[in-house]
Chains A and B, each alone.
Chain A
Amino acid sequence: MDDFEFNITGTHIWYYYCCPREVWLMLHQVNPDEDDANMDLGRFIHEMTYGRDKSKEISLGNIRLDIVRQDKEGLVIGEVKKSSKYLKSARMQLAFYLAELKRRGIEATGELLFPKEKKKESVTLTADIEKELMKAIAAIHCIAAESRPPQARKIGLCKNCAYKEFCWA
């Protein structure tokens, strides 16, 4: 499995910072249990919030943007999250989108949206973050090349993870 092709997506970046095992499983199409209650909740929040942003959900190659908005200061892209618990992951995911847009010659700023918590956080792409992204992308390629997934480790995320039963059966 060391020579299969894939495009890194925002979801991979998100999972890389939470659980590298999940990255490996995703890359091998070993998808999580779709019936998991938390998956439903995520989908629900995604569907029911920010309905007014007409232009939400834009796919651009391997990135999928929840919300795209033109502000006075320029283009803003928004990423909707269920909770702010995994802020680092969320930040890096959004930064990845910003970097991808930049690669295509589009300047934008990012906004993390936590509708359940009525919270927002802005994210801008800095040189440091870009460097860190490059490292994460390289690391994801390394994970993908492994013949087995990284060993399961019990972390806080496991409790609400749709892979829970898969990992701990």
Chain B
Amino acid sequence: MKKTLYIFSNGQLRRKDNTIFFMNEEGEQKYIPVEDTAELMVFGEVDINKRFLEFCSQQEIIVHYFNNYGYYSGTFYPREHYNSGYMILRQAEAYLNMESRVSLAQKFVTGAAQNIRQVLKYYQNRDKEVGRQLQEIEELSTKIKETCDISVLMGIEGNIREYYYKAFDVIHGQSEFVFEGRSKRPPQNAMNTLISFGNSIVYSTVLSEIYKTHLDPRIGYLHATNFRRFSLNLDIAEIFKPILVDRVIFTLIGKKMISKRDFKKDSGGLMLKENGRRVFVEELENRLKTTITHRGIGNPVSYRRLMRLELYKLEKHLMGESVYEPFVTQW
């Protein structure tokens, strides 16, 4: 399986002969094995040129870049290599038909809610008092099926997350990571910074997986499509955020791998320092590589691969083959 390369330092990215070459500010040079690289995640200030981008296109390497805060800012999405006019039409058809759009949007919210529930159950079994939040979330979940309005659905999703986030403090029990309500752009406290950072990476990871399918990332079902930005990755990411990002956060602060010292104040918000980012990314990568057994396929499948399978299931749904059912973790 091809790898993800994270670039945290500042420097230059170039094509050199038939591979990618990175030189940081200190003049340290590094060759990146192009055959083995699927995507670059660029956090540092990096200079690039057209020759480099052309090379990425040719090698089908996708480049995500993040701003100073570690927020997702954009992607160099090379020309499509899995082009299927048939699939694009089916994807758009399902978007235009309100009934089918809503039913898919409901599936994404349901998947997210069920995975949230699994995370909370896991901690309930470890004697954390999250029973009340669990109950609220289960009640809210029953409303998902009742609505046929996307914005109402988004509202339910938001309410579920609200209750879910209230359980965070109970789960980790550490005062320096108290949640205090969701704040974004920029996040106002350490927990929000961690959530935003992790979510950003998951959004771009799903986008990279979409690139390897016949789907168009601009057509999503739950998140509004305006055909100018990617939204299908946001839909799929909903399902994976609780089991990837949130669990990684609990591990990081539970094992004291990240502490208050890894953050710094910056123009009205709080951001992760480079070392904190490295630790987070490493843990998330470990999680993405973790495999589970898959009954249908018959061999172990990594979490990253599960994202791809989710997209394949969606394709089959759009083809009218089998109704899409979201992935729900068993533990």
Does residue A148 face the partner (Cβ distance < 8 Å to B)? Answer: yes
Contact call A148/B320, Cβ cutoff below 8 A: yes
Binds B, one of A26-34, A47-55, A76-84, A121-129: A26-34
**How far, in angstroms, from A1 to B90 measured CA to CA in the complex?**
11
Q: Is B166 an interface residue (CB 8 A)?
A: no
A3 CB, min distance to chain B CBs, angstroms: 13
**Interface contact B86-A28, CB-CB below 8 Å:** yes
Chain B interface, DSSP helix/strand/loop, else mixed: loop
Q: Is B305 an interface residue (CB 8 A)?
A: yes
Choose among A164, A165, A168 the residue with the greatest number of B CB atoms under 10 Å from its CB.
A165
> Quick check: A169 and B309 within 8 Å, CB to CB?
yes
In the complex, chain B residues whose CB is within 8 Å of the CB of A165: 297, 305, 308-309, 312
B121 CB, nearest partner CB in chain A, Å: 25
Within 105-141 of A, Cβ neighbours of B (below 8 Å) are at none
Shortest C-beta distance, B11 to chain A (Å), equals: 28
Is A149 within 8 A of B315, CB to CB? no
Q: Are A29 and B296 in contact (CB under 8 A)?
A: no
Complex: A154 Cα to B321 Cα, angstroms: 16
A86 at the interface (CB under 8 A from B): no
Specify which chain A residues have a CB less than 8 angstroms from the CB of B308 in the assembled complex. 165
- Shortest Cβ distance from B87 into A: residue: A30
Evaluate contact between A169 and B296: CB separation under 8 angstroms. yes
Task: List A contacts of B315 (CB < 8 A).
Answer: 30, 166
Whether B297 contacts A30 by the Cβ 8 Å rule is no
Task: Judge if A35 is at the interface, Cβ distance under 8 Å.
Answer: yes
A149 to B312, CA, bound (A): 14
B316 at the interface (CB under 8 A from A): yes
Q: A30-B315, A148-B321 are in contact. Are A169 and B84 (CB under 8 A)?
A: no
- Selected contact of B87 from candidates A28, A34, A151, CB within 8 Å: A28
Number of A-B contacts (CB under 8 A): 52
Once the chains bind, are A169 and B319 in contact (CB under 8 Å)? no
* CB neighbors of A among B295-327 (8 A): 296-298, 305, 308-310, 312-313, 315-316, 319-321
Q: How far is the CB of A40 from chain B (nearest CB, A)?
A: 10
Bound together, the chains give a CA A28 to CA B85 distance in angstroms of 8
Considering only CB atoms, which chain A residue lies closest to B314 in the complex? A169
A31, B297: Cβ atoms under 8 Å?
no
Interface string of A146-168 (1 = CB under 8 A from B): 01110100000000000011101
Q: How far is the CA of A164 from the CA of B87 in the complex (A)?
A: 18
Instruction: Report Cα–Cα, A31/B315, bound state, in Å.
Output: 12
A34, B83: Cβ atoms under 8 Å? no
Q: Which A residue sits closest to B319, measured CB to CB? A: A148
B212 close to A (CB within 8 Å):
yes
| A168-B84 contact in complex given A35-B212, A149-B319, C-beta closer than 8 Å | no
Q: Once the chains are docked, how many angstroms separate the CA of A127 from the CA of B132?
A: 77
In the bound complex, CA of A37 to CA of B79 (Å): 23
* A29 CB contact (under 8 Å) in B84, B309, B312, B319: B84
Q: Does B76 contact A (CB under 8 A)?
A: no
Query: Which A residues touch B296, using CB under 8 A?
Result: 168-169
Q: Is A149 a contact partner of B86 (Cβ separation < 8 A)?
A: no
B227 to chain A, nearest CB (A): 21
A31 to B321, Cβ gap below 8 A?
no
A166 vs B308: C-alpha distance in the bound complex, in angstroms?
9
Q: Which residues of A contact B81 (CB under 8 A)?
A: 34
| B126 contacts partner chain A, Cβ-Cβ < 8 Å | no
Give me 16 A-to-B residue pairs in the complex whose CB atoms sit less than 8 angstroms apart, sorted by A's number.
Answer: A1-B86, A28-B87, A29-B84, A29-B86, A34-B81, A35-B212, A148-B321, A149-B321, A151-B321, A165-B297, A165-B308, A168-B297, A168-B298, A169-B297, A169-B309, A169-B316
> B residues near A, CB below 8 A?
1-2, 81-87, 212, 214, 296-298, 305, 308-310, 312-313, 315-316, 319-321
Other CB < 8 Å A-B pairs besides A29-B214, A34-B82, 5 of them? A28-B87, A29-B86, A31-B84, A148-B319, A165-B312
Interface residues of A (CB under 8 A from B): 1, 28-31, 33-35, 147-149, 151, 164-166, 168-169
Those 7 A-B pairs whose CB atoms lie nearest each other, nearest first? A29-B84, A169-B309, A168-B296, A28-B86, A169-B312, A166-B312, A168-B297
